[in-house]
Chain A
Amino acid sequence: MWESLIIEPFINALLFIYDLIGENFGLAIILFTVVIKLVTWPLMSKQINSSRAIQDMQSDPDWIAIQKKYKNDKDKLAQEQMRFYKEKGISPFASCLPTLIQFPVIIGLYQGIIQTMGNAPMQMLNLIPKISPWLTDVFSFIPGLKDPLSLIPLNSQFLWMDIGRPERIFIPGISFGIPLLAIIVALTSFIQTKLISSPTSDAQANQMTGMMNIYMPLLMGWFAYSLASGLALYFLASNLFSIVQYAALGRFDIKNLLPKKKIEVVKKGEKNE
């Protein structure tokens, strides 16, 4: 069910784009990521707006006052929080639902890319039955479209990298390969998380966000370093698109990149405790 509803359409869509743009797999991954991100734009926007509303709420004087007043009475605190949500028209779960809906799409996109990159017998054996000409049939009016099965094996060269292998760039005079793409992925992950996370009055929440801002980019960088470069391209395209999306929604603050601001806010948060 998961395979036939999510993975197979994604694989065939990816192959369709690959064929359409002249058999460039790297570009196909980037375009496909952008298309999926555009399709899920409304859900993502809703999630961003809801998350921001909850973040803003953390700095609301009334909210802070409730936390202080009922800090020793958990039942009353919960009641007051619910009243506050109602008054302000905030749903604490509003940011979860779009995420839940997007989740299978993102996982499907990710798995679709991995499976299409298959360059060993077992992967190819699993990939071939999933390839179907339905998209080629639907768009048969486009001249020059090929039977998707005839596209196998895919051209895995993109710029200096082999899409099916971890990326390294070799510079004359340096004996080892530099993982340029992994560095860019880590950097864009860091910028993305920093730009979108506003400091709140809650020092502990800030501390947690600060840790995530370090761990997640490192983790993404590690995956981009060790996995096939096609996945690193997906991470990069996804990060860049998210940054653009936040910017388009007016939801990122360039000042968040500056460390000074963060320290001040954490101190302020500590005073509030």
Chain B
Amino acid sequence: MKYSKKVITLLIVLMTALLISSCTNVGAASSWPGYTVDDGVGYLSFGAQTYAIDISNGSLQWQYPAESDRTRQAYGAPQVLDGLVVFGDYANKLVAVNAANGTEKWKFSGAQDRYIASVELTESFVFAPNTDGYIYALNSDGAMEWKFRTEGPNWTKPIADEEFIYFASMDHNMYAISQTYNVSSLELAKDGSRTLRGDYAWKTDLGMAIVADPILQNGVLYSATIEGKLFAIEIETGEILWSFDNNGELGAVWGSPVIDGSIIFIADTEGDVYTVDKDTGKQIWPSPFNAGGKIVGGGALTPDGVVFATDGGKIFLINQEKEAKTIISLESAIYAPVINEERKILIAPASEDGLLTAFDLEGFEVWSFVPSK
């Protein structure tokens, strides 16, 4: 009897533990794969590993770290320039590795929080947005040159042109700051770091947090918010040229807009795809196309139209005439953007069955990369 009461007590405690842990989603992936393609190689971060995958056949070239570290979490798409692959993780580390073999070149540990967004690479700088509310500017050796403070976490990839970098923050603003700063505008901190004292070229309030990577074309930035509003912003002045929300019907936007000629394709988490005139912001189709599932990642432009994927696993192509075709339906949810690489559609489902899979435009699988356990 004594024994059984002890067992009951332990069971109650264990049940409570189970209930509390199940409610907290302990162990669940906190994001989806982030990947990019450069010179025939796909670089993908998901959870503990970052992989380099040969896009011609799906074979693994290298992985970082070489020995699996289950405590590591990385989801931002790695970026590549001049043989250097740079990516951040959720343990506040930004790493640069050799693109050829994955060996570590440098590591930056100066940030205080997670790297959710990708970095932007230029000849002189690595611009790394962090959720600690700073954009870090590092030189090509990984040493911090300066940092710029925003008023909230930064989840989107910056864009650099010759003179400025542009980035959208969760603090509702789009910023433009000069890459060539004046020494007098740098504030020296006790730890030796230098903060750019609010010296932005312009700052434009978009009213809501921004989680979708903006895109830049012909001097205009296109950026959408979680409220469901697409903005066209002139980069010289930061002036809003137009905005589009379909009278409040456009849902939260997580993926970058796709530009096809003079038309912008924009998809939302309601599963709707809209087309908007790039110059005027006017809606082109009278009503959106509904895909029947959340569209989270951005689409990929192909010669036949734009390919999107839904969280229900449907991959479909839609053209400017609103003619849609389902390419394939998978079992897995897809949140990551779609990439078109030499008429191969790359999909990164949040699944262990295939972390990165290539299909042709008819929906036939070309290869699938499954990481070894």
Specify the chain A residue showing the minimal Cβ separation from B251: A129
Specify the chain B residue showing the minimal Cβ separation from A204: B5
Band of interface residues on A: 20 to 34
Contacts of A120 in B (CB 8 A): 30-31, 90, 114, 116
Q: Which of B23, B25, B131 contacts A119 (CB 8 A)?
A: B131
B175 within 8 A of A: no
Of the candidate stretches B12-20, B58-66, B283-291, the one touching chain A is B12-20
Given contacts A128-B269, A149-B227, A208-B8, contact A121 B31 (CB under 8 A): yes
Given contacts A121-B211, A124-B211, contact A215 B30 (CB under 8 A): no
Q: Which of B9, B208, B269 contacts A125 (CB 8 A)?
A: B269
B155 within 8 A of A: yes
Specify the chain B residue showing the minimal Cβ separation from A123: B30
Of the candidate stretches A14-22, A30-38, A54-62, A107-115, the one touching chain B is A107-115
Contacts of B25 in A (CB 8 A): 114, 123
B184 within 8 A of A: no
Give CA–CA (A114, B114) in the complex, Å. Answer: 19
Q: Which residues 144-173 of A sit at the B interface, judged by CB distance below 8 A?
A: 147, 149-150, 152-153
Q: Is the CB of B9 within 8 A of A122?
A: no
Closest CB in chain A relative to B184 CB, distance in Å: 31
Q: Which residues 170-229 of A sit at the B interface, judged by CB distance below 8 A?
A: 204, 207-208, 211-212, 215-216, 219, 223, 227
Q: Which residues 224-279 of B sit at the A interface, judged by CB distance below 8 A?
A: 226-227, 252, 254, 269
Give CA–CA (A216, B252) in the complex, Å. Answer: 42
Contacts of B116 in A (CB 8 A): 120-121
A266 within 8 A of B: no
Q: Which of B30, B152, B296 contacts A153 (CB 8 A)?
A: B152
Closest CB in chain B relative to A124 CB, distance in Å: 7
Give CA–CA (A239, B287) in the complex, Å. Answer: 53
A243 within 8 A of B: no
Q: Is the CB of A215 within 8 A of B296?
A: no
Interface flags, B30-56, vs A, CB<8A=1, else 0: 111000000000000000000000000
Contacts of A114 in B (CB 8 A): 23-25
Q: Is the CB of A219 within 8 A of B13?
A: yes
Q: Is the CB of B9 within 8 A of A211?
A: yes
A44 within 8 A of B: no
Specify the chain A residue showing the minimal Cβ separation from B252: A128
Closest CB in chain A relative to B111 CB, distance in Å: 14
Closest CB in chain A relative to B320 CB, distance in Å: 28
Specify the chain A residue showing the minimal Cβ separation from B270: A129
Q: Is the CB of A122 within 8 A of B32?
A: yes
Q: Which of A119, A152, A208, A223 contacts B9 (CB 8 A)?
A: A208
B344 within 8 A of A: no
Band of interface residues on B: 35 or more
Q: Is the CB of A121 within 8 A of B30?
A: yes
Specify the chain A residue showing the minimal Cβ separation from B13: A215
Q: Is the CB of A227 within 8 A of B211?
A: no
B371 within 8 A of A: no
Give CA–CA (A216, B326) in the complex, Å. Answer: 53
Give CA–CA (A85, B12) in the complex, Å. Answer: 26
Q: Is the CB of B5 within 8 A of A207?
A: yes
Which DSSP category, helix, strand, loop or mixed, fits chain B's interface?
A: loop
Q: Is the CB of A153 within 8 A of B252?
A: no
Specify the chain A residue showing the minimal Cβ separation from B9: A211
Contacts of B12 in A (CB 8 A): 212
Specify the chain A residue showing the minimal Cβ separation from B76: A121
Closest CB in chain A relative to B90 CB, distance in Å: 8
Closest CB in chain B relative to A111 CB, distance in Å: 5
A231 within 8 A of B: yes
Most buried by A among B2, B20, B211: B20
Specify the chain B residue showing the minimal Cβ separation from A216: B13
Give CA–CA (A112, B226) in the complex, Å. Answer: 20
Give CA–CA (A114, B25) in the complex, Å. Answer: 9
Give CA–CA (A102, B64) in the complex, Å. Answer: 48
B146 within 8 A of A: no
Q: Which residues 77-133 of B sit at the A interface, judged by CB distance below 8 A?
A: 90, 114, 116, 131
Give CA–CA (A98, B253) in the complex, Å. Answer: 43
Contacts of A123 in B (CB 8 A): 25, 30
Contacts of B170 in A (CB 8 A): 152-153
Contacts of A208 in B (CB 8 A): 5-6, 8-9
Give CA–CA (A153, B29) in the complex, Å. Answer: 20
Closest CB in chain B relative to A259 CB, distance in Å: 19
B314 within 8 A of A: no
Q: Is the CB of B30 within 8 A of A149?
A: no
Q: Is the CB of B208 within 8 A of A150?
A: yes
Contacts of A152 in B (CB 8 A): 170, 208-209, 226
Give CA–CA (A122, B17) in the complex, Å. Answer: 24
Contacts of B29 in A (CB 8 A): 122
Residues of chain A having any CB pair with chain B under 8 Å: 107, 110-111, 114, 119-125, 128-129, 147, 149-150, 152-153, 204, 207-208, 211-212, 215-216, 219, 223, 227, 231
Query: 24 A-B contacts, Cβ less than 8 Å apart?
Result: A107-B23, A110-B20, A114-B24, A114-B25, A119-B131, A120-B30, A121-B32, A122-B28, A122-B32, A125-B269, A125-B296, A128-B269, A129-B269, A149-B208, A149-B226, A150-B227, A152-B226, A153-B153, A153-B170, A212-B9, A215-B10, A223-B17, A227-B20, A231-B24
